[in-house]
Structure 1
Amino acid sequence: MAITIDSPFQYLFFPICIILLVGILSFIKKSANSKKKIPLPPSPTALPVIGHLHLLSSTLHISFKNLSSKYGPFMLIRAGSTTSYVVSNGAIAKEVFKTHDIKFAARPEFGSSDYQIYKDTLFSTFDYGKYWIFLKKICMMEILSTQQINRFADIRREEMMDLLRIFVKKAEEGEGCDTGVEFMAMTNNLISRMTMSTRCSTNADETSEIREVAKGITLISGLLSLGEAFTLLKKYDVFGAGRKVKALLLRFDALMDRIISKHKMEIQGGKREKDMMDILLRISEDRTSDVKLTKAGIKGLFLDLFLGGTDTTSVALQWALAELLNHPEALKKLQDEIDKTVGLNRLVEESDVPNLPYLHAVIKETLRLHPSLPLVFRKCREDCKINEFVPERFLINAINAIDHDDPEDMKGQNFSYVPFGGGRRGCPGAGLATSVLHITLAAVIHCFDWKIKGADKVNMEEGAGFSAAMVHPLVCYPILRVNPSVIAI
């Protein structure tokens, strides 16, 4: 009696055999042509063709952490035809981010990049050069410099107050709320107002759409695609990640078209002052400009600003609140510090933050455990040697105490602690992000007690994606303790 198995995987058998054959032939050819032996860092035992894919999960940073505990802080990982070097040590990271910074001033393309409609315009992935330097200069001058961050303090306060009013309403009605949704709406509106002088999330439907697009892009782009491992399959998008990213980007593109059209009408009508969007539009229309900026380039830059300034910050706020809820003694200590410094008759201000050392410690510990960028990707632009055998380094360190960096430095100079990356490709918005994190966390802890919905502890499972967000939504009941709507401000 013949038995047949109706399985979707049976149709993959032949193409998989072809892939394995091509991979084996490629492996044999590489082995035959390798004449010069280059000393390589430690590496797990690799399987033919797939390399170390069997050791990696969708949460890559956790996989790398587990492997580094066995193979050391500098190891070689092969995923199909892709070779990567994983650094998880401050001293070695310093060589990448500082000593050889210019050589690592590029970022790799990912498997879904062929479906990225802003592929050649994204600030985050564009190769280091004149165009990238120009975009960074614009970002720093218009929104991310210390002077500009201070100038936007009123906007941050207004958006924070709107967030607190939402929580007050939930508390008065005895309803739970998804804190991630509300944090994302706040950060979206904040970035939008700082760059385009308009709130991006004016209603619940639009807020939901922006959040879905931002989180979807972050999640899907962070997944290891088959195209990453097998270069020959890169353009075929076997598992559909590229098509999903493109669909999300087209939604964002349509939203940006509406915003740009509205923006042009407002500035022509003289309804407001010029902002970052106006500057970029003017440059794009200037035929004599040294840098040619297209409309797609403007959209790509704003996509980076939204992804880098909204999802990562809102995720960090969720992790901070979750850790405090799981550690009530730390939560009580932070509330006591704020109450003692600020009191119960006014709302915590940004000017109070320097006088709240425990708040700083909570943010830093949160970013240590849940960094905004758990994986920092770099592509080496030219050959260099990393972690060479130089015993003299310890003589120098002993005399000058070079390794005694400030353990609390979050600007990428202490290379054992780089929650925002490091070097010239480190996150330029780190200053803005930390400002938002400190004042927002202080306010929600000052004004509310929090009860976890349906549990005694928050489920701290980490998800895939570049920002390593929480797998399960952080749904809580806010309990009013200081009403921001009635206290003296």
Structure 2
Amino acid sequence: MSSFLLNSPLFYYSCIVLIIIISFKWISTTLSKTNKNLPPSPPRLPIIGNLHQLGLNPHRSLEALSKKHGPLMLMHLGNVPMLVASSPEAAKEILKTHDLKFASRPKLRIPDILLYGSNDITFSPYGEYWRQLKSIAVVHLLNNTRVQSFQQVREKEVALMIDKIKNSDGSLVDLNELFFWLTNNIVCMASLGRKYGGSTFADIMDRFVHLLSGFDVGDYIPWLAWIDRFSGLEEKAHKVAKEFDDFLECVVEEHLDKRRGVDTLYSEDQDLVDTLLDVQRDNATGFTFHRDVIKALILDVFTAGTDTTYASLVWSISELIRHPSIMEKVQQEVTEIAQGRSMILEKDLEKMNYLKAIIKETLRLHTPVPLLVPRESTQDVKVMGYDIPAGTQAIVNAWAIGRDPTLWEDPEEFRPERFFNSSTDYKGLHFEFLPFGGGRRGCPGIQFAIVIIELALANVIYKFDLALPDGVKGKDLDMSEKYGLVVHKKSPLIVVATSRF
């Protein structure tokens, strides 16, 4: 029977037709690609594309490539096209001009595992679900009134941190650790109603952030997804997700117990979980969400609220230690405004122009999330005259833009004065300065983070003179980076703090 089929004319005719169809499809695909005006691309290797060119510090590697190939590049990570914007003009096209077409997120395996199927604000795809979630966050959690309502929490936690430094009595102080617990405690009080400390919680947080920053081969070369399973990456992600889920389940249940009047651990103030439970109960928005959505939102607040904030505090103090003349000027400013009081309060911050310029300069040089969070085009679109197909991932190298010598004079120097008499801010409207992104997927928690940074920084430099141990000069401080979703200082910031009063 098989011999008959192989020798029959019908078989040969079928093969010829199949070859013609395949050839026609290949030719049409090739012609369509040829006819497209694609952005310049670095040469790529088979299978891995340009993955090998990312290096250990992708923001720096991509900056170097952009100098050779231009401010808008099309790279290929495995078989996934990736658009890289490295200029304000290119960033504006993605974040403003074509914001809607680039408003979605790519589907990534690890965030899916860690964040309840990417049901959070940061990683969920663009659509009605995301719009409702963003609206709830902005209206109920991150509006000016809500941020101001936690003023006493912030001031109390900063005062406790200052006491810890004071009690060090000239011994070594690990500012990385102190700033982590400061921001963690504030976020815990604001979102969960009470503090959660201890090495176990810190360990879970550290592993969560590390995994969220990791690279999943299967996202870019699907047939190599087995590598992530073989390496244990997925198993680690599932384990951390389970540990965090168990913790958050207890948190939600404790809040429900409080409402029943059987729990007294929490303050009477309304925290983030209370607010979300109210929204869920009242369903005033017409949007029904389950408990997993509440937990995903809490995780968003933790990762965005803690990691970026304490990293920026560490970078700020590090730069001030390296630049003693700038430290002296800002200490003079905060001392004059404090007028001998024991602590800087939030009401004093609006007068501290030099302090604010220092924070802006820190965010320019040390952009917390240097490549922002990747986006994905949902439609074919033209960007700076180039054809960008639907399904193309897009990243904005905000770090490279912040160090572009055509935009900033002496961009590698720490010079806060460049922000004097300047309207440039970090709210996403100035595309030469994008520490928190921009457009509809920009960070909604800017105000929450900035007030913590300002208050903590003002009080530390007001109360203490800081020096490096063993007589090391500030100019010799190690400023190397540890790359991740958030870029941290690689070595901890250890100082000797001497009271100024």
TM-score range (shorter-chain normalised) is: 0.7 to 0.9
Q: Structure 2: 5+ residue runs without aligned partners? A: 1-24, 387-406, 408-420
Query: Is 1:223 the equivalent of 2:176?
Result: no
After superposition, the Cα gap between the structure-2 partners of 1:142 and 1:169, relative to the gap in structure 1 and judged at 3 Å, is farther
1:421 partner amino acid = G
Structure 2 equivalent of residue 331 of structure 1: 327
Instruction: Choose the corresponding residue for 2:165, options 160, 164, 167.
Output: 167
Q: Return the offset for 1:341.
A: 2.6
Whether 1:249 and 2:241 are equivalent positions in the alignment is yes
Contact map agreement 2:368 2:435 (CA 8 A) in 1: yes
Pick one of 182, 193, 196 that aligns with 2:178.
Answer: 182
Within the candidate set 380, 385, 398, 1:383 is matched to: 380
Query: TM-score scaled by structure 1?
Result: 0.83
CA–CA distance in 2 between the matches of 1:239 and 1:310? 28
The residue aligned with 1:466 is 485
Deviations 1:66-87 (A, max 9, x none): 2112222111111211210100
What residue number does 2:78 align with? 80
Taking a change above 3 Å as real, the CA distance of residues 128 and 406 of structure 1, as seen in their structure-2 partners, is: farther
Deviation per CA, 1:384-404, whole angstroms, max 9, x where unpaired?
110128xxxxxxxxxxxxx9x
Matched, 1:480 2:499: yes
1:151–1:112 CA distance, 2 compared to 1 (3 A): closer
For residue 428 of structure 1, report the CA deviation from its aligned partner: 0.2
Summarize the Cα distance change of 1:192–1:95 in structure 2 as closer, same or farther, 3 Å threshold.
Answer: same
Cα deviation, 1:265-294, whole Å, max 9, x if unaligned, reads: 222218625443123234545789732322
- SS class of match (2:497): strand
Change (3 A) 1:217 1:58: farther
Counterpart position of 2:153: 155
Conserved? CA contact 1:315–1:470, under 8 Å: yes
Matches within 5 A, 1:356-367: 356-367=352-363
Q: Distance in 2 between the 1:383 and 1:340 partners? A: 56
CA RMSD of aligned residues (A): 2.5
Distance (whole Å) between structure 1 residues aligned to residue 83 and residue 26 of structure 2 = 19
Greater shift in the superposed pair: 32-41 or 57-66: 32-41
Aligned residues of 1:447 and 1:481 also touching (Cα < 8 A): yes
Among 187, 190, 201, the residue aligned to 1:210: 201
SS of the aligned residue for 1:77 comes to strand
Q: What corresponds to 2:441 in structure 1?
A: 425
The answer to whether the aligner puts 1:448 opposite 2:439 as a matched pair is no
1:268 aligns with 2:260: yes
* Aligned-partner Cα distance in 1 for 2:491–2:295: 31
Residues 223 and 464, structure 1, Cα contact 8 Å, conserved in 2? no
TM-score by length of 2: 0.81
Q: Which amino acid aligns with 1:352?
A: D
Query: Among the aligned pairs, what percent are the same residue?
Result: 32
Shift of the alpha carbon at 1:34?
A: 2.3
In 1, Cα distance between equivalents of 2:50 and 2:352? 46
Match of 1:110 among 108, 111, 119: 108
CA displacement at 1:419 relative to structure 2: 0.3
* SS across alignment from 1:112: helix
- Structure index of larger Rg: 2
- What do the CA deviations read for 1:123-166 (whole angstroms, capped 9, x no partner)? 21111222222222222233311222222211111111111111
Cα distance change, pair 337–47 in 1 and its aligned pair in 2 (3 A): same
Q: Greater shift after overlay, 340-349 or 414-423?
A: 340-349
Q: Is the 8 A contact 1:219 1:464 kept in 2?
A: no
What amino acid is the match of 1:473?
A: P
Contact (CA 8 Å) 2:114, 2:237: kept in 1 or not? Answer: yes
Alignment-derived partner of residue 239 in structure 1: 231
Which residue matches 2:403? none
Counterpart Cα distance in 1 of 2:164 and 2:28: 66
Q: What SS is found at the alignment partner of 1:374?
A: coil
2:143 matched residue in structure 1: 145
Q: Partners of 2:84 and 2:49 in 1: how far apart?
A: 15
For residue 467 of structure 1, what is the amino acid of its counterpart?
Answer: V
Aligned residues: 434
User: Does the CA contact (< 8 Å) of 1:225 and 1:239 recur in 2?
Assistant: no
Distance in 1, matches of 2:57 and 2:153, equals 35
Q: CA shift at 1:328, angstroms?
A: 1.4
The answer to whether structure 1 residue 412 and structure 2 residue 428 are counterparts is yes
Q: Which deviates further from its counterpart, 290-299 or 341-350?
A: 341-350
Question: CA 1:288–1:386 in 2, change beyond 3 Å: closer, same or farther?
Answer: closer
Partner residue, 1:14: none
The one-character-per-residue Cα deviations of 1:401-428 (angstroms, maximum 9, x if unpaired) are: xx9x965211000011010010011000
* TM-fit CA distance, 1:114: 5.2
Q: 1:416 to 1:192 in 2, by over 3 A?
A: same
In the alignment, the residues of structure 1 paired with residue 67 and residue 497 of structure 2 have an alpha-carbon distance, to the nearest angstrom, of 40
How far apart are residue 363 of structure 1 and its match? 0.2
